């Protein structure tokens, strides 16, 4: 376990990161704080990529595996600050908890990763095989896995540890997610003479009803490949006395292991073909939604909203080794899966890198008002990251 100095160090770093407000695309202050810590602790290399991802590197004296600790620096927004019990960007400590936006999701984990790496380098005097990378990642909250693509291209890690909240359990998988866009195209007309046009919303309502009849895919561990309508809009809007010529509906699709961009769209495309055969007037299109966001570096980040699922076998040696080391130290770690989507969608789902999750706090603290992290969890996860380094850097 951590000594008093190291405990105070991780608490202080977590507080500094929370005070550096960092909504998605505005992570520069938090990146500066983390960068200052890396430099103060003598990390061998500190780099910022084009999107603003910050990567600190510590090199062991012998060649070996590369382990990447991934924590995002962005947070969701706060809403009404006045409704918070304690101010969301001051990181006040009350009864063993640090309060503020991003404490649990996930600046506490980022602080713990940075401190654990520094502690490990100091204790071993770098007499270990391999390299440790700690990445403060941008744009995770609505774009999981996209900025991470650039990090894995730069680092080429053998192992990735995702620090999202896991209550100190080891996570070996998650469902992925995709945003699917359905569009119908009609013909505008004055609504006093609707027969002169084709109402795109009526067409869409038929499509929606048909899509609801599709059976979801399923997986014995990860559950169902849910397809749920999340929004709908028509154009022109407002449609004052106009038959709408366009309608778009968005679906959230939870992805199971092995599902591809093609395999997910296929049953929908088949259904649409069938509907078109029945209704020659129907003009409809299905595609993945594309996201585009600005980074604090001035760069834009863009990608289709398709984030694959992933799952490792609990007997995989890298998981078994990490678990063994944690148990030796008295952690009551269990092996489970994340219920939400993480940067693991890229590392494991797209790039096939051996990935696991380990983080402080229960996941239901994320995105809440009065978000906090228990100091006990923060210090314990710092020890857990240290243990994982020890288990894998051999
Ligand atoms: Zn998160």
Beta strand pairing status for 159-162 and 62-72? parallel
* C-alpha of residue 274 to centroid of ligand 1, in Å: 40
The alpha carbon of 74 and the centre of ligand 1 are apart by a number of angstroms equal to 8
Q: Does residue 367 have a pLDDT over 90? A: no
> Is 331 a residue whose pLDDT tops 80?
yes
From the CA of 79, how far away is ligand 1's center (Å)? 17
Give the distance (Å) from ligand 1 centre to CA of residue 386. 21
- Quote the ligand 1 centre to 12 CA distance (angstroms): 20
CA–centroid distance, 175 to ligand 1, in Å, is 15
C-beta of residue 374 within 8 angstroms of C-beta of residue 97: yes
Please check whether residue 390 is in contact with residue 331, taking contact to mean a CB–CB distance below 8 angstroms. Answer: no
User: What distance in Å separates the CA atoms of residue 71 and residue 100, rounded to the nearest whole number?
Assistant: 17
Question: Is 222 in contact with 241 (CB distance < 8 Å)?
Answer: no
**What is the spatial distance between Cα 18 and Cα 75, in angstroms, rounded to a whole number?**
10
Distance 46 CA to ligand 1 centre (A): 23
Distance 321 CA to ligand 1 centre (A): 25
52, 297 Cβ separation under 8 angstroms? yes
- The token pair at 161 is 């540890």
pLDDT band at 319 (very low <50, low <70, confident <90, very high): very high
Distance 369 CA to ligand 1 centre (A): 15
Predicted confidence (pLDDT) at residue 171 exceeds the cutoff of 80? yes
Question: Does 55 have pLDDT greater than 80?
Answer: yes
CA of 123 to the centre of ligand 1 (A): 30
CB atoms within 10 A of CB 288: 17
| pTM score over 0.85 | yes
Q: What is the pLDDT of residues 64-123, one digit of tens each?
A: 999 999 999 999 999 899 999 999 999 999 999 999 999 999 999 999 999 999 999 999
* Distance (Å) from CA 247 to ligand 1 centroid: 32
CB within 8 A of 314, min separation 6: which ones? 172, 320, 335
In the prediction, which pLDDT does 143 show? 82
CA distance 310 to 307: 10
Distance 249 CA to ligand 1 centre (A): 27
Output the CA 341–ligand 1 centroid distance in Å: 9
What distance in angstroms lies between residue 164's CA and the mean position of ligand 1's atoms? 5
Query: 198: which residues sit within 8 A by CB, 6+ positions away?
Result: 186, 187, 243, 245, 281
Q: How close is the Cα of 41 to the center of ligand 1, in Å? A: 25
- pLDDT at position 144 is 81
């Amino acid at each position: 376990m951590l000594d008093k100095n190291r405990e105070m160090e991780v608490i202080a770093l977590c507080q500094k990161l929370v005070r550096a407000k960092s909504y998605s695309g505005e992570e520069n202050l938090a990146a500066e704080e983390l960068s200052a810590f890396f430099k103060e602790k003598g990390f061998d290399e500190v780099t910022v990529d084009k999107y603003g991802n910050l990567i600190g590197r510590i090199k062991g004296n012998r060649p070996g595996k590369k382990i990447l600790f991934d924590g995002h620096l962005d947070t969701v927004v706060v809403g009404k600050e006045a409704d918070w019990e304690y101010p969301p960007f001051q990181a006040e400590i009350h009864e063993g908890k640090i309060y503020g936006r991003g404490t649990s999701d996930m600046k506490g984990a980022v602080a713990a990763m940075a401190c654990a790496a520094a502690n490990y380098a100091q204790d071993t005097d770098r007499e270990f095989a391999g390299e440790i990378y700690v990445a403060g990642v941008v744009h995770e909250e609505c774009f999981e896995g996209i900025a991470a693509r650039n990090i894995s291209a730069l680092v080429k890690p053998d192992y990735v540890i995702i620090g999202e909240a896991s209550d100190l359990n080891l996570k070996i998988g998650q469902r992925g997610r995709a945003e699917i866009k359905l569009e119908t195209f009609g013909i505008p007309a004055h609504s006093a003479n609707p027969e002169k046009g084709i109402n795109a919303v009526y067409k869409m309502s038929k499509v929606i009803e048909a899509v609801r009849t599709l059976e979801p895919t399923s997986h014995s561990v990860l559950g169902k490949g849910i397809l749920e309508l999340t929004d709908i809009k028509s154009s022109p809007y407002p449609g004052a006395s106009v038959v709408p010529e366009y309608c778009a509906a968005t679906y959230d699709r939870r992805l199971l292991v092995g599902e591809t961009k093609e395999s997910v769209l296929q049953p929908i495309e088949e259904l649409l073909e069938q509907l078109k055969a029945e209704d020659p007037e129907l003009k409809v299109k299905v595609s993945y939604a594309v996201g585009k966001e600005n980074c604090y570096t001035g760069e834009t980040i863009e990608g289709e909203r398709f984030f694959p699922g992933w799952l490792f076998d609990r007997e995989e040696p890298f998981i078994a080794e990490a678990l063994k080391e944690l148990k030796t130290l008295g952690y009551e770690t269990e092996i489970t899966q994340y219920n939400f989507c993480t940067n693991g969608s890229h590392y494991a789902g797209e790039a096939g890198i051996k990935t696991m999750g380990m983080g402080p706090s229960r996941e239901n603290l994320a995105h809440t008002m009065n978000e906090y992290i228990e100091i006990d969890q923060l210090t314990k996860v710092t020890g857990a990251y240290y243990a994982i380094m020890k288990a894998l850097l051999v």
